Amino acid sequence: MLPHSFAPAEPSGLADSPTSEPLLAGLNPEQRAAVTLPAGHALILAGAGSGKTRVLTTRIAWLLQNGYATPGGILAVTFTNKAAREMLTRLSAMLPVNVRGMWIGTFHGLCNRMLRAHHKATGLPQTFQILDTQDQLSAIKRLCKQYQIDEERYPPKQLQQFIANCKEEGMRPRDVPQHDSVARKKVEIYQLYEDQCQREGVVDFGELLLRSYELLRDNDAIRAHYQRRFAYILVDEFQDTNRLQYAWLKQLAGDVVEGRLQTQGSVMAVGDDDQSIYAFRGARVGNMQDFVREFDVRQQIKLEENYRSYSNILDSANALIRHNSRRLGKELRTQQGPGEPVRVYEAASDLAEAQWLVDEIRQLVKDGMARREIAVLYRSNAQSRVIESALFNAGVPYRVYGGLRFFERAEVKHALAYLRLLENPHDDTSFLRVVNFPPRGIGARSIEQLQDAARSAGCSLHDAVAAVAGRAGTHLGAFVALVDVLREQTQGLNLRAIIERMLDASGLIEHYRSEKEGADRIENLEELVNAAESFVMQEGFGRDAVALPLDEQRAALRQSPASQGLNPDAPRLDLPLPAVDAAARPGAGTADVDLETGETLSPLAAFLTHAALEAGDNQAQAGQDAVQLMTVHASKGLEFDAVFISGMEEGLFPHENALSSQESLEEERRLMYVAITRARRRLYLSHAQTRLLHGQTRYNLRSRFFDELPEHALKWLTPRHPGFASFARTSGAVYAGVSSATDQFGLKSDSPVNAPLPAQKTPPAHGLRVGTAVFHTKFGEGKVLALEGQGEDARAQVQFPRHGTKWLALAVAKLTVVE
DNA sequence: ACAGGAATATTTTTT
DNA sequence: ATATTCCTGT
């Protein structure tokens, strides 16, 4: 058994102190076991709707209440700001605790907090700014121009991906294998990018994590400090962690001694391998197995009791996900009855599907369901269009999730760029964004001149302005003067005043006033002032955690059912942090590290950080009771009384790009699992025979996922036509999806869109499917994008890397299938 | 400097 | 079909 050292006290296990009863009331045995686990590492497999957040927050409250931990000894990490906020809100409703002392936030938020506290040790300026994805891309493009990198051979988007991937794998340029000249070049660019960021005092999202990880890894005193401090580490959505995030957690938890992890704190990882839907952006479900092995996890608890849905819905989810291999294994169950059947509808077209959705939604609303309790889910954003227009024409209020968020809007980013220049004039990304916006006669030529000057002088664009002569120099000089004067003038002003002065002096407002569609933009700029104001009000800027004022905490507590028996006015558990005992730290006698400096950021710097780390709301205007439209991904973590999953078609869901490998197909299945488990009472699955996609009519088969659902739970609203399974049988495709089959095949392209298809379809003789790799003697290898027509008329649209996309008559063109 | 037309690429996305 | 990006001519 691994040695554990526990601080400050060790929970004794299931023997609760009498005071924890009110906290634990209403928890089922598994939840209760998870909440009251003794010190040591634990994996909680929390199924959808099993009360995961409740367990996490109650665990923290229980640890605090029983004195097993102080607020300063807790670290709880999530992926989204929303999840972190929810945890804080629920926690402060349970206990009158000062949440300010706790480290509860996103990975990025906590890393940011750590880097600011130790900026000297990390080699960053204290007021380093954070590049979002847009900023990062423009920084890379600028770098490519500067070093004359062939953007054909090294597309900036790809470089961005490459750099982000490297960082997620914990690799600095020197760590990246350089097998060939292309790899060498990419690494060289990576290094140049790093130098540029360092020079400008900016970090990207990946850098926040990597720097923080390296800080812990390379600095014994700091690592020891945090290892001692965080007696309890809790990780939400653990299945979504990437390699670097896991490595970061390991640094916080303990050191590897003689090949074994010697931990100080206890790590509780909460996750669900069946809901892992972010492998495409680096999430590694394997971290769950690694965690169990490397941390020698003894406590594994499954939360399988579902409090959300009726059993027909859960049976469907369970049956579907059983088709995945390599699962940790889990079955959702409920004490509720079967409820209503899952309704399945086949529409003739995407239009007809949307119309049916509208009719069904209207009926639900008429029967008394709130519109906000109805969600329409789809696999990809492009599908929302038809549905939106059907809802719009019917006058049904709806809300679409996704799209640009507040702090990502162009006008807001412009304003933020000005503010960032006030904070840091050497931020070239911000400089370039607004040097000629609003237009002030500084063209591409002048900027090139300036960039050349900056490069030869090895300084920032701001500092290079003096070196540019002539008219260009005059205009540039005026811009720099504007920013510098503004910086002077805003010294000592409050945040609101700073922003107002900036909006005025920059000419942004005036510029948009003269633009025809500028009204919305001006509104957003005014909203920026409000956002800053409410940020300041929230006290405690410089921290990502949002703390409720004490009286609000107590008010929430009075209303909370979890607070029964607690005294809302009891003194706060505002215990001091454990002192860092330098003498007791092995080999740290001389260390004079500024551990967790008390330096605070200026309100402006703090606000800019906030803007970068929390891009704002992702949904359109709230308030009105509206039907919710979103992708399946966006629906994760939400629940609704009625859920429609639309576009249940082969090629769409599962997506055609995911058919090539077992892993990606299984991720699609998990995605479907997530979608199903969003529904509380009613679940509808719909698909259309024809659908307009990329300007072309496509004929899609019913999704294979239907064949994986239990017949007893389904109610077919329309007669069943043969679906993927029958196609797969007749065409010899492997049903489990190992082959790259999609089941799209050609029907006469001029068949009327709304006419029902013939009941019996025949599989194509040519054996091609969308996604098939083919070889053409003249054009080389290509991929089938679409198929049309039958027999002699059959045509295929094929995309060739060299020759573009072409329609080929299969009777004429000699195409061979590439395995 | 900027408008307008051609070329291009369309899974999912948080920080 | 459509949104975005790129490029060219004025």
Closest nt by CA–C1' to A141: C5
Q: Is the CB of A379 under 7 A from strand B?
A: yes
Residue A370: CATH number of its domain: 3.40.50.300
Range of the domain at A347: 342-405+619-722
Q: Are residues A429 and A483 in the same domain?
A: yes
Residues A94 and A232 in one domain: yes
Structural domains counted in chain A: 5
Instruction: Report CA(A344)–C1'(C1) in Å, whole number.
Output: 28
Distance A633 CA to B13 C1' (A): 8
Q: How far is the CA of A434 from the C1' of B4 (A)?
A: 24
pTM: 0.84
CB of A445 lies under 7 Å from some atom of strand C: no
| Residues A616, A620, A622, A627, CA torsion sign | negative
- The Å distance, CA of A803 to C1' of B7, is 14
- Residue A509 CA distance to nucleotide C1 C1' (Å): 35
Residue A157 placed within a domain: yes
Q: What per-residue confidence (pLDDT) applies to A159?
A: 92
| Residue A661 assigned ligand-binding role | no
Strand partners, A629: A376, A400
- CB proximity A152–strand C (7 Å threshold): no
Judge if A400 and A539 occupy the same domain. no
Which A residues 588-617 have CB within 7 Å of strand C? none
Pick the last residue of a domain from A722, A745, A780.
A722
Is A102 in the same domain as A229? yes
Q: How many CA atoms lie within 13 A of A448 on its CB side?
A: 6
Same structural domain for residues A52 and A163? Answer: no
CA–CA distance, A433 with A413 (Å, rounded to integer): 9
Dump the DSSP string for A150-207: -TTTS-HHHHHHHHHHHHHTT--GGGS---SHHHHHHHHHHHHHHHHHHHHTEEEHHH
For chain A, list residues with pLDDT below 50. 1-10, 12-18, 541-551, 553-554, 556-593, 733-760, 762
Which is the catalytic residue, given A168, A236, A273, A500? A236
> A451: domain CATH number?
1.10.486.10
- What is the structure's pLDDT at A354? 97
The pLDDT value recorded for residue A148 is: 84
Strand B at less than 7 A from CB of A636 = no
Do A63 and A212 share a domain, yes or no?
A: yes
In a domain, A570, yes or no: no
Within a domain: A243: yes
Q: Is the CB of A137 under 7 A from strand C?
A: no
Question: Is A814 an annotated catalytic residue?
Answer: no
Q: Is A50 annotated as a binding residue?
A: yes
Say how many C-beta atoms besides its own lie within 10 A of residue A168's C-beta.
20
Residues A59, A180 within the same domain: no
Q: Does residue A445 approach strand B to less than 7 Å at its CB?
A: yes
Q: Is the CB of A664 under 7 A from strand B?
A: yes
Structural domain includes residue A652: yes
Cα-trace Rg, chain A: 29
Q: Does residue A88 lie within any of the structural domains?
A: yes
Is A236 an active-site residue? yes
A615 nearest nucleotide via C1' and CA = B15
| Domain final position from A547, A578, A601 | A547
Does at least one atom of strand B sit less than 7 Å from the CB of A133?
yes
Report the protein residue whose CA lies nearest the C1' of nucleotide B14: A80
Give me the pLDDT at residue A95, please: 86
Q: Is residue A109 part of a domain?
A: yes
Q: Which nucleotide minimizes the distance between its C1' and the CA of A134?
A: B15
A365 touches strand B (CB under 7 A): no
Q: Which nucleotides of B are covered by protein (CB under 7 A)?
A: 1-2, 8, 10-15
A114 with A230, same domain: the answer is yes
Round and report the angstrom distance from CA (A580) to C1' (B9).
Answer: 56
148-207 on A, CB < 7 Å from strand B: 205
| Marked catalytic residue, from A30, A135, A237, A350 | A237
**Nearest alpha-carbon partner for A769 in A805, A706, A802, A818:** A818
Q: Domain ends where: A165, A199, A233?
A: A199
Q: What is the CATH number of the domain that holds A151?
A: 1.10.10.160
The pLDDT score that the predictor gives to residue A544 is 38
Statement: the CB of A297 is under 7 Å from strand B: no
Question: Is A379 designated active site?
Answer: no
State the nucleotide closest to A404 in CA–C1' terms.
B13
- The answer to whether the C-beta of A694 is closer than 7 A to strand C is yes
C-alpha separations of A572 from A58, A97, A98, A359, A441 in Å = 17, 5, 6, 53, 59
Cβ neighbours for A744, distance < 8 A, ≥ 6 positions apart: A650, A651, A698, A699, A700, A701, A769, A770, A786, A787
Position A33: which residue type?
Answer: A
Catalytic-residue membership of A237: yes
Residue A692 approaches strand C within 7 Å at CB: yes
Q: Is residue A425 assigned to a domain?
A: yes
List the A157 CA – C7 C1' distance (angstroms).
20
Using an 8 Å Cβ cutoff, are A503 and A496 in contact?
Answer: no
Residue A99 and residue A248 share a domain: yes
The reply to whether A633 Cβ lies less than 7 angstroms from strand B is: yes
Determine the pLDDT at residue A567: 41
How far apart are the C-alpha atoms of A773 and A818, rounded to whole Å? 5
Residue A439, CB, less than 7 Å from strand B?
yes
The set of residues, in sequence order, having a beta carbon less than 8 Å from that of A185 and lying 6+ positions away, is A149, A154
Residues A149 and A282 in one domain: no
pLDDT digits (tens, 9 = 90+) for A130-175: 999 999 999 998 888 888 888 888 889 999 999 999 999 999 999 9
For residue A735, what pLDDT is reported?
A: 38
Q: Which nucleotide is nearest to A382 (CA to C1')?
A: B10
- Residues A254 and A294 grouped into a single domain: yes
| Same-domain pairing of A647 and A789 | no
CA A407 to chain CA centroid, nearest Å:
16
Q: Report CA(A131)–C1'(B14) in Å, whole number.
A: 14
How far, in Å, CA of A169 to CA of A248, rounded? 11
DSSP string of A402-441, one letter each residue:
-S--GGGSHHHHHHHHHHHHHH-TT-HHHHHHHTTSS--S
A window 170-229: Cβ near strand C (< 7 A): none
A46 in a labelled binding site: yes
Alpha carbon distance A670, A275 (integer Å): 6
Nucleotide closest to A544 measured between CA and C1': B15
Residue A667 lies in a domain: yes
Structural tokens at position A474:
């005059």
**Catalytic residue (choose from A32, A36, A52, A449):** A52
